[in-house]
Amino acid sequence: MNVRYRFIMTFILILLVLCGCSGKNDRKTELTISAAASLQNALYDIKKAFEAEHPGIKLNFNFGASGTLQQQITQGAPVDLFFSAAEDKFDKLVEDGLIKKENAADLVGNELVIVVPTGSTKEIHGFEDLAKAEKISIGTPESVPAGAYAKETLETLHVWEILSDKMVYAKDVRQALTYAETGNVDASIVYKTDAIISKKAGIAATAIKNSHSPIIYPAGIIQNSSHPKEAELFFDFLQDDKSIEALEKHGFNRLQ
C-alpha cells in the first residue's frame, strides 16, 4: 500500500513539474507600443507579421495623440517603444534622456488634407474655400501634431485669424475625421492616411508642402523598457522594407 501511495504521489509531482515547465515556456513577452492614432491600421498589419515571425512576443498598442503619449512616457508610463507623428514630441524624450539617439529613427512621412462629409454642398475644394464652412475640426494643436500642422498651414495662408472661431478641437486626428464623417463639421483637416480609409468623407484638397513643417514619423526604444532586447527586435522590424511597404500601403510616404 505504501509503495502504491508513493508511486501515485511521485506521478502527481512529475505532472505538476511538467505542467509548470509548459506554462513557463508558453508565456509570451508583452511589449507596450505607444503610437500616434494615425498609425493604427498600418500597425495592426505589421503586428500580424511580427508576431508570426516572433511567436514568443505579443504587441500591445496604446494609440493616442503624440503629445499625450509623450507626456505619459515622461510621467513614467510603462512603455517599450514610442512611434510618434511629430518630431518635436519625440525629440523632447531624446533631450530628457528617455530615448537614446542610437535607438531612434525617422521612418515615414505623411500629408495634410481637407476632408468634407460625403454629399456636402458647401463647395469646399481648397483651403481658400474654408471660409464657406460654419464649423471646421482640427486636432488640439498643443497635443495633436496634425492639429499643429493644420494651424501652421492656416497661418501660412494668413487665414487662421479669420477661421479660428470656427474651430472644433479634437483629442486626436481620428476624432477630427469622425466629426466630418458624422456631419458635425463642414470640414476637417487630417492626415491623408486617415482620410483614405474613410467611406463617409472625401478628400477636398491637399496642403502644399511648404505651408507647414515636414510631417515626419520617428520611432524609438524607451530607455527604461522592461524588455529592451524584444523592443530592439520590433524596432529593427519596423525599419525593414516589408514594414515600410506596409506603411506605404496605408498612405504613408517613404523617406528619401
Q: Is the pLDDT of residue 25 over 60?
A: no
Cell 471660409 appears where? 131
Give 7 or 190, the one with higher predicted confidence. Answer: 190
Q: Which residues are annotated as a binding site?
A: 38, 66, 146, 173, 191
Q: What is the pLDDT of residues 56-112, one digit of tens each?
A: 999 999 999 999 999 999 999 999 999 999 999 999 999 999 999 999 999 999 999
**CATH topology for 112-211?**
D-Maltodextrin-Binding Protein; domain 2 (3.40.190)
224 within 8 A of 73, measured Cβ to Cβ = no
Spell out the long-range contacts of 18-25 with Cβ–Cβ below 8 A and sequence spacing 24 or more: none
Are domains 29-109+216-254 and 112-211 of this chain identical in fold?
Answer: yes
Tens of pLDDT along 138-176?
Answer: 999 999 999 999 999 999 999 999 999 999 999 999 999
Specify the pLDDT at position 75. 97
Q: What's this model's pTM, rounded to 2 decimal places?
A: 0.82
- What percentage of the chain reaches a pLDDT higher than 90? 88
How far apart (Å, rounded) are the C-alpha atoms in residues 166 and 159? 12
Binding residues for molybdate: 38, 66, 146, 173, 191
Q: For the chain, give every domain's residue range.
A: 29-109+216-254, 112-211
Region 196-214: what's the mean pLDDT?
95
Distance between CA atoms of residues 249 and 85, nearest Å: 17
Calculate the average pLDDT of the chain: 92
Task: Give DSSP secondary structure letters for 60-112.
Answer: EEEEE-HHHHHHHHHTT---SEEE-S-HHHHHHHHHTTSEEEEEEEEEEE--E
What pLDDT is attached to residue 11? 54
DSSP codes, 35-54: EEGGGHHHHHHHHHHHHHH-
Question: Nearest 10 degrees: CA dihedral of 217, 157, 139, 126?
Answer: -90
- Closest by CA to 163, choosing from 136, 139, 141, 203, is 136
Q: Which residues contact 223 (CB under 8 A, 6 or more apart)?
A: 97, 98, 99, 100, 103
Contact 218, 84 (CB under 8 A): yes
What is the CATH number that goes with domain 29-109+216-254? 3.40.190.10
Give helix 145-156 / helix 173-181 axis angle, nearest 10°. 70
Kindly state the average pLDDT of the residues 19-38. Answer: 77
CA distances from 175 to 112, 185, 208, 230, 248 (A): 15, 11, 23, 32, 22
At 27 the pLDDT is: 86
Q: Is the pLDDT of residue 15 over 60?
A: no
Residue with cell 476637417: 188
Mean pLDDT score, 30-43: 96
pLDDT score of 156? 97
